[in-house]
């Protein structure tokens, strides 16, 4: 597949000129694309055009291992995959200031999205995610399940869940002129657990995604080997917030639940890997054929199709 073919798939999915879109993606799930991740990022920009704004996570969890974290929005590499890094490195792109949850964007709304105040959480209504919501952003999942959809943490923040907390993190921040100043950034983290595990219980963001799909609010289509999903951020936030108001958290495993929620389309493939903060993590791809997922990096990942993850 080439850049033009990928763009055609995005248009068929429902992405349009002028859209503001936030993308989570796996190039390995897509399969072979001429030009690689840069071609996929280019296809996204081709579709939304000069009036659209492309945004992606530029998260950098490796800062957790630094005794005095050095944050450089101009050069901090995204740990969320090659496509998000291609967005960050696109000509004219800007990256927000954040300890871990930075956001990159390119297009006419990029300065506003990434210019959120330093003294608020990225998940605040005046943070990068709140500004994306205010712009009517769409969320695009390319070859990944809802487990990768950071809107889940955005919903947790707005609904003030009792298992996460806001912290103030001292950092060294590289300025545009190259100088460094000390400051404090707002981060949103799981609360400490008695047994030392990172989370109180496993999250199941696929549950909210499956509920959203049942309403018909999600466009689903295969592009290459990747199952892709497109939906309005507001629709997701409204659905999750509505469940919270009724006393139900649809973002994590409920008592007695032993498996994650399957999705109607595609096959889910779990990848176990060591993240750059030295934590064991699970990534979940959503693909047409598990055997066509590009090979994992040796020593970093092991991949297994998820039972029941078929449509």
For residue 139, is it within any domain?
yes
Angle, CA 100 vertex, CA 97 and CA 103 arms, to 5°: 50
pLDDT (0 to 100) of residue 301: 45
Read off the pLDDT of residues 52-94 as tens digits, 9 standing for 90 and up.
Answer: 999 999 999 999 999 999 999 999 999 999 999 999 999 999 9
For residue 238, is it within any domain?
yes
pLDDT (0 to 100) of residue 256: 81
pLDDT > 70 fraction of the chain, expressed in percent and rounded: 94
pLDDT (0 to 100) of residue 237: 98
Asked if the model's pLDDT at residue 212 lies above 50, the reply is: yes
Strands 20-25 and 301-305: unpaired
By residue range, what is the domain housing residue 13? 3-60+75-160+199-305
For residue 178, is it within any domain?
no
Distances, alpha carbon 297 to alpha carbons 29, 268, 271, 276, 294, in Å? 14, 19, 11, 14, 9
pLDDT (0 to 100) of residue 307: 47
What region, left, alpha or beta, does residue 178 occupy, with left being phi > 0 and alpha being psi -120 to 50 degrees? left
Read off the pLDDT of residues 244-253 as tens digits, 9 standing for 90 and up.
Answer: 999 999 998 8
10 Å CB burial of residue 204 (0-12, 13-18, 19+) is buried
Q: How far apart, in whole angstroms, are the C-alpha atoms of residue 135 and residue 206? A: 24
DSSP helix, strand, coil percent of the chain (3-state; round to 5): 30, 25, 45
For residue 291, is it within any domain?
yes
Tokens 């490796």 found at: 62
**Mean pLDDT of all residues in 160-176:** 96
**Mean pLDDT of all residues in 215-239:** 98
Angle, CA 275 vertex, CA 271 and CA 279 arms, to 5°: 100
For residue 188, is it within any domain?
no
Mean pLDDT estimate for the chain: 92
Lowest mean pLDDT among 48-62, 141-155, 279-293: 279-293
10 Å CB burial of residue 232 (0-12, 13-18, 19+) is middle
Tokens representing 180? 């460094």
User: In total, how many domains does the chain have?
Assistant: 1
Tell which residue, 283, 285, 264, 286, has the closest CA to residue 274: 283
For residue 177, is it within any domain?
no
Cα-Cα-Cα-Cα torsion 120, 121, 127, 132, nearest 10 degrees, comes to -170
Q: How far apart, in whole angstroms, are the C-alpha atoms of residue 140 and residue 151? A: 11
Q: Which residues contact 183 (CB under 8 A, 6 or more apart)?
A: 118, 170, 171, 173
3-class DSSP state of 207? helix
pLDDT (0 to 100) of residue 258: 80
Asked if the model's pLDDT at residue 205 lies above 70, the reply is: yes
Read off the pLDDT of residues 95-151 as tens digits, 9 standing for 90 and up.
Answer: 999 999 999 999 999 999 999 999 999 999 999 999 999 999 999 999 999 999 999
Tell which residue, 7, 26, 13, has the closest CA to residue 290: 26
Judge whether 273 and 216 are in contact, CB under 8 Å.
no
**Mean pLDDT of all residues in 168-188:** 97
Asked if the model's pLDDT at residue 162 lies above 70, the reply is: yes
**Mean pLDDT of all residues in 8-37:** 97
pLDDT band at 296 (very low <50, low <70, confident <90, very high): low
Q: How far apart, in whole angstroms, are the C-alpha atoms of residue 76 and residue 54? A: 18
For residue 174, is it within any domain?
no
Higher pLDDT, 45 or 300: 45
Higher pLDDT, 253 or 48: 48
For residue 70, is it within any domain?
no
Q: How many CA atoms lie within 13 A of 264 on its CB side?
A: 14
Q: How far apart, in whole angstroms, are the C-alpha atoms of residue 52 and residue 147? A: 26
Tokens representing 17? 């000129």
Higher pLDDT, 238 or 298: 238
Tell which residue, 191, 167, 190, 179, has the closest CA to residue 70: 179
Q: How far apart, in whole angstroms, are the C-alpha atoms of residue 261 and residue 181? A: 45
**Mean pLDDT of all residues in 160-187:** 96
pLDDT (0 to 100) of residue 306: 62
pLDDT (0 to 100) of residue 253: 87
pLDDT (0 to 100) of residue 297: 46
């Amino acid at each position: 597949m080439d850049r033009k073919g990928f763009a055609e798939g995005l248009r068929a999915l429902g992405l349009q000129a002028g859209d503001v879109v936030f993308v989570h993606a796996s190039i390995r799930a897509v399969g072979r694309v001429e030009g690689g991740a840069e071609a996929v990022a280019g296809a996204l920009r081709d579709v939304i055009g000069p009036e659209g704004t492309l945004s992606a996570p530029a998260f950098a969890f490796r800062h957790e291992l630094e005794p005095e974290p050095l944050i450089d929005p101009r050069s901090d590499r995204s740990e969320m995959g090659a496509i998000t890094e291609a967005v960050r490195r696109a000509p004219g792109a800007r990256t927000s200031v954040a300890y871990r949850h930075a956001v990159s964007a390119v297009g006419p709304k990029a300065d506003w999205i990434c210019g959120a105040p330093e003294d608020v959480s990225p998940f605040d209504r005046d943070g990068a995610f709140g500004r994306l919501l205010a712009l009517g952003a769409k969320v695009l999942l390319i070859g990944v399940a809802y487990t990768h959809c950071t809107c889940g943490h955005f919903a947790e923040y707005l609904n003030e869940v009792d298992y996460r907390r806001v912290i103030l993190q001292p950092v060294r921040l590289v300025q545009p002129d190259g100088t460094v100043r000390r400051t404090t950034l707002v981060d949103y983290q799981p609360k400490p657990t008695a047994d030392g595990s990172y989370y109180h219980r496993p999250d199941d963001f696929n549950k909210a995604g499956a509920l959203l799909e049942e309403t018909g609010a999600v466009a689903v289509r295969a592009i290459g080997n990747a199952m892709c999903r497109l939906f309005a951020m507001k629709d997701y936030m409204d659905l999750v917030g509505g469940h919270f108001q009724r006393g139900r958290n649809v973002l994590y495993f409920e008592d007695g639940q032993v498996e994650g929620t399957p999705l109607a389309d595609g096959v889910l493939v779990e990848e176990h890997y060591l993240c750059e903060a030295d934590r064991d993590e699970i990534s979940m791809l959503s693909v047409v054929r598990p055997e066509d997922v590009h090979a994992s990096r040796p020593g970093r990942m092991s991949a297994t199709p998820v039972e029941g993850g078929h449509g």
